């Protein structure tokens, strides 16, 4: 088990040597992930793990990728997606152009889910989906639009529960245990690295989705990121968070109004 003091040393190394600032990540989860890597990669001591992180840029990539959580699904929380269809996307339909930001998109499952919603609302042609993440490796996966076949059954059920009426498999081609989603969907996506801890706003959006990312941050960093989102949202645009995330601890709460069905979607009113 790693000690608090050693966590501090590692985080300081990541910041000093590489410019990655994890000091405002939620500590308990971060510590658990460092312990997990320590045992997965079989370091005999903390000193050896620290030396490897400091001196081996290839290992650093793995370390940062494993430190951050990259678990994601298509149409996770189907009722959330149903609300996107009925309340949010229908409201955005009148706009000449729709800009959406997936902040912390990981391997892109949610971006493809959103593209499917837009396609079914006949809005994909005038939409642009910006998908960003801290890790360039996961963005490579997202950019290819190729996912494992195994979870498609679950995703298909989620899709139907979200109000999907088509055959989910019509959106992809399956081959050798993998599926590739139709080019039309990926054609409206822009992938780029962006670090919510240190980078700034880069556009104005009609909808920002950042689901299950803020849970890894402490309250101070959550506030910074929510401020960044607020600056990146036009009037009456939407912010969507994860099922257990909330604005209730933020000073920005008065500027936003949660949708009436209590899904974790807020509209910017102030």
Partner 1 sequence: MAENRIINHCQVVVIGGSTGSIDVLLKLLPALRSPLPFTLIIVLHRKNTADSTLANLFSLKTSLPLKEVDDKDVIVPGTIYLAPADYHLLIEKDGTFSLDDSEKVNYSRPSIDVTFESAADVYGSSLVGVLLSGANADGTNGLVAIKRAGGVSIVQRPETAQVAFMPQQAILSAPIDYVLDVQELISFMNDLNQPGRVR
In the complex, minimum distance from the CB of residue 175 to partner 1, in angstroms, rounded to a whole number: 26
Residue window 11-30: x/- pattern of binding to partner 1, with contact defined by CB under 8 A: ---------------xxxx-
Closest CA to 105 of 66, 71, 61, 65: 71
- Closer to partner 1 by Cβ: residue 31 or 144: 31
Task: Indicate which single residue of 15, 17, 47, 79 sits in contact with partner 1 (rule: CB under 8 A).
Answer: 79
Name the 3-class secondary structure at 139: helix
148 scored as a contact of partner 1 (CB under 8 A)? no
DSSP letter (8 states) at residue 18: I
Q: Would you list the DSSP string of 196-232?
A: TTT----S-EEEEEE-SSGGGB-HHHHHHHHHHHHHT
| Residue 87 or 218 having the CB closest to partner 1 | 218
227 binding partner 1? (CB under 8 A):
no
Q: Does the protein bind partner 1 through residue 110 (CB under 8 A)?
A: no
71 sits near partner 1 (criterion: CB under 8 A)? yes
Question: 77 vs 206, which CB is nearer to partner 1?
Answer: 77
Size of the site for partner 1 (CB under 8 A): 24
Shortest gap between Cβ of 11 and partner 1 (angstroms)?
15
Rounded to whole angstroms, the maximal C-alpha distance in the chain is: 60
Residue among 78 and 91 whose Cβ is closer to partner 1: 78
How far are the Cα atoms of 58, 111, 204 from residue 200, in angstroms, in the given order?
27, 21, 12
Site for partner 1 in 233-262 (CB under 8 A): 242-246, 248-249
103 forms bridges with which residues in the sheet? 132
DSSP string, 36-89: HHHHHTT-SSHHHHHHHHHH-HHHHHHHHHHHS-----TTSSHHHHHHIIIIII
Rounded distance, CA 205 to CA 232, Å?
A: 6
With the CA atoms of 134, 140, 145 and 147 taken in that order, what torsion angle do they form, in degrees rounded to the nearest 10? Answer: -90
Give yes or no for a contact between 141 and 175, defined as CB atoms under 8 angstroms apart: no
Q: Which of 216, 238, 256, 266 binds partner 1 (CB under 8 A)?
A: 216
Show contacts with partner 1 in window 26-65 (CB under 8 A): 26-29, 31-33
Rounded to a whole number of angstroms, the distance between the first and last alpha carbons of the chain is: 47
Among 69, 123, 128, 146, indicate the residue that binds partner 1 (CB under 8 A). Answer: 69
Task: Name the minimum Å distance from CB 127 to partner 1.
Answer: 26
**222 forms part of the interface with partner 1 (CB under 8 A):** yes
Regarding 212 and contact with partner 1 (CB under 8 A), the answer is yes
Closest contact distance (angstroms) between CB of 246 and partner 1 is 5
Interacting residues with partner 1 (CB under 8 A): 26-29, 31-33, 69, 71, 77, 79, 212, 214-216, 219, 222, 242-246, 248-249
């Amino acid at each position: 088990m790693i000690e608090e003091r050693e966590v501090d040393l590692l985080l300081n190394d990541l910041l000093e040597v590489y410019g990655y600032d994890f000091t405002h990540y939620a500590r308990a989860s971060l510590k658990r992930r460092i312990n997990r890597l320590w045992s997965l990669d079989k370091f005999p001591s903390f000193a050896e793990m620290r030396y490897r992180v400091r001196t081996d840029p290839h290992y650093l990539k793995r370390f940062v990728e494993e430190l951050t959580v990259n678990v994601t699904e298509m149409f996770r929380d189907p009722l959330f997606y149903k609300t996107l269809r009925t309340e949010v996307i229908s409201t955005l339909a009148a706009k000449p152009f729709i800009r959406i930001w997936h902040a912390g998109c990981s391997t892109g499952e949610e971006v493809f889910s959103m593209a499917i919603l837009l396609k079914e609302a006949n809005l994909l042609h005038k939409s642009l989906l910006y998908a960003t993440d801290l890790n360039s490796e996961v963005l490579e996966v997202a950019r290819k639009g190729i996912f494992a076949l195994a979870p498609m059954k679950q995703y298909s059920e989620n899709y139907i529960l979200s109000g999907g009426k088509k055959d989910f498999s019509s959106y992809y081609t399956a081959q050798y245990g993998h599926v590739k989603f139709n080019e039309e969907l990926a054609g409206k996506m822009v992938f780029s690295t962006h670090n919510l801890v240190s980078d700034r706003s880069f556009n104005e959006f009609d909808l920002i989705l950042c689901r299950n990312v803020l849970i890894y941050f402490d309250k101070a960093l959550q506030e910074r990121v929510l401020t960044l989102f607020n600056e990146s949202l036009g009037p009456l645009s939407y912010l969507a968070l994860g099922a257990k995330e909330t604005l209730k601890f933020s000073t920005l709460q008065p500027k936003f109004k949660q949708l009436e069905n209590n899904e974790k979607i807020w509209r910017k009113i102030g």
